Amino acid sequence: MRWIENTIRALSPAIDLEGTPWEAEWANSQRAVFTKTMLISLPLLAAVYIFHYYFFDKPEGLEPSENWLVFRMGAAFVLILTTVFYLSPLNRLRFYKMPGIIATALVGYSQAHVSLNYPPAPWIYPYIFVLAAVLLWRIDAFKSLAFSLLTMLFYLPVLMQAGIHTETLVSATLVCCIIVILVRSSYSFEVTNFLLQKRNERQQELHYQLQEEFSSRIQSFIPRVISARIQHHVAMENVSVSNASLYVLKPQAKDIACLFSDIRGFTTASKDLENFVNESVIPEVKAVSAQIERNEGIPRKIGDLIFAYYDDNDQLLNLCRAILSGIQLSRQNEVMNATVSAVEIKRYILISSGTAVVGNIGGLDSSVEITALGSPVNFLSRLDETTKIEKLAAKLSPGDIILSPDTAAMLTSSFEIAMQPIYLNEIGVSVRDFAEVEAVYVIKPTPVGEEELANFISLRMSRNQLTSPNL
């Protein structure tokens, strides 16, 4: 029974469209093509019939002349009347093909009578009409075959009356049916290609939706800078969001500048003030993180701790962005202290630079963890511990920006900047695991410094050449 089903589908492939979302779209497209075809072919055929009378029938002296005139003009009238139908709103009816089918059948039937009145005329013309109609109507092989058989049976009495042998007519009918099936077999390919195209479009649409959903999901828990890089890679390389994410987030060694800061006295303050965390700390951390991202940094929030790294290919630019973020973080701390006057919040900003491995050390789901691992990060963690030692804390003020020796050297080689060294051996402290570090350097944030840093960063990004502003 399988071959029967396959044969039916081959002869009438439109059944594959039934129940699909595109059934109506296919029907509308076929209606549009059919109507356009009728509006072109029917007037053209009417003109052929009219001119045929004046350029052939009349000059040849075919008798009776009035019958030929009626025949030609009658056929032309039917064709033009059918054209008017397809120009009117009536062509939107469900059985819009029927007037064209009837008109073509009547004209073909009239053409069959030519054999009675003019025997030299080729009797095969009615069959040609059938084949031409099958092409114009754009119907499947099964319907085309059914129409052809009915139409040719309609012609047979007239052709037999004209003296055409029955065997000849049967042979012509069989040949015509075979040609009809062969000609309209292309309909199956049209439907199949349409379905494949629509299914492909749907798959692409679903793929796009999934990418958008995945992209939105990623953006909800990754920094803006990383999200922008992923979107850029998708656009430039024409890859999926997941592949772009894997590429952008893969761990790799880079020269970075990193920033480290947490709130001193956070535990005590959070115990003393009921709404301290929700009304002060969380909004402050969010604001600081947003500012870091505006400076092209990649923040990571761990409670009250702010960690960020900057991994542009320009290391001096990374450092300037980190210091600018530090200045803004210091100012944000001042705003917080003015808002929550009951408790003084102390926050130091620690900055270092060097080579680290950056990227995602988790997965591409809720376990995504974008961070930096390496010596400059470890140094800041140990330095943060050291700043809690009273001897060092006494030399610091809230909002100070503390630099590692290498970072300070890079900064002073490019800028005239006021910074204060603190020699650790003189106060009897050392940085755990970094005993070779003899001093750290402190910058006192100023509004002038913030403005000039911002100008330098803008100039560096646009021109990629170094200037020497004074902080």
User: Mean pLDDT over residues 361-373, rounded?
Assistant: 71
Per-residue pLDDT band for 382 (boundaries 50, 70, 90) equals very high
Query: Does the pLDDT at position 343 exceed 60?
Result: no
pTM score over 0.85: no
* pLDDT value of position 469: 42
Per-residue pLDDT band for 166 (boundaries 50, 70, 90) equals confident
- For 294, phi then psi, to 5°, come to -65, -25
> Domain residues of the chain, as ranges?
2-184, 252-463
- Cβ contact 53:68 at 8 Å: yes
* pLDDT value of position 252: 92
| Distance in angstroms (rounded) separating the CA atoms of residues 83 and 35 | 9
Q: How far apart are the first and last CA of the chain?
A: 88
Per-residue pLDDT band for 136 (boundaries 50, 70, 90) equals confident
Q: Which of 37-46, 120-129, 418-427, 450-459 has the lowest mean pLDDT?
A: 450-459
* pLDDT value of position 411: 84
Per-residue pLDDT band for 213 (boundaries 50, 70, 90) equals low
* pLDDT value of position 399: 81
| Distance in angstroms (rounded) separating the CA atoms of residues 258 and 231 | 24
The more confidently predicted of residues 334 and 7 is 334
| Distance in angstroms (rounded) separating the CA atoms of residues 144 and 152 | 12
Q: How many CB atoms lie within 10 A of CB 276?
A: 19
pLDDT in tens, 303-318: 667 899 999 888 988 9
CATH code reported for the domain at 252-463:
3.30.70.1230
Name beta bridge partners: 371. Answer: 359
Tokens of 256: 């970075």
Per-residue pLDDT band for 468 (boundaries 50, 70, 90) equals very low
- 26: nearest Cα among 206, 196, 204, 209: 196
User: Mean pLDDT over residues 35-49, rounded?
Assistant: 90
Tokens of 461: 């990004």
The more confidently predicted of residues 54 and 212 is 54
Q: Helix axis angle, 224-237 relative to 241-249, nearest 10°? A: 120
- 262: nearest Cα among 299, 295, 304: 304
DSSP category for residue 394:
T
Q: What is the mean pLDDT of the chain?
A: 80
Q: Which amino acid is at 409?
A: A
Q: How many CB atoms lie within 10 A of CB 379?
A: 25
* pLDDT value of position 78: 92
- 115: nearest Cα among 81, 156, 85: 156
- What 3-state class would DSSP assign to 403? strand
Half-sphere exposure (Cβ direction) of 303: Cα atoms closer than 13 Å: 9
* pLDDT value of position 14: 66
Consecutive H or E run containing 259: strand 252-261
The more confidently predicted of residues 266 and 337 is 337
User: Mean pLDDT over residues 406-433, rounded?
Assistant: 87
Residues contacting 294, CB < 8 A, separation 6+: none
- For 177, phi then psi, to 5°, come to -60, -40
- What 3-state class would DSSP assign to 423? strand
Strands 305-310 and 252-261: what pairing? antiparallel
Query: Does the pLDDT at position 215 exceed 80?
Result: no
- Cβ contact 248:230 at 8 Å: yes
pLDDT in tens, 239-254: 777 788 788 888 999 9
| Distance in angstroms (rounded) separating the CA atoms of residues 398 and 338 | 13
Query: Does the pLDDT at position 201 exceed 70?
Result: yes
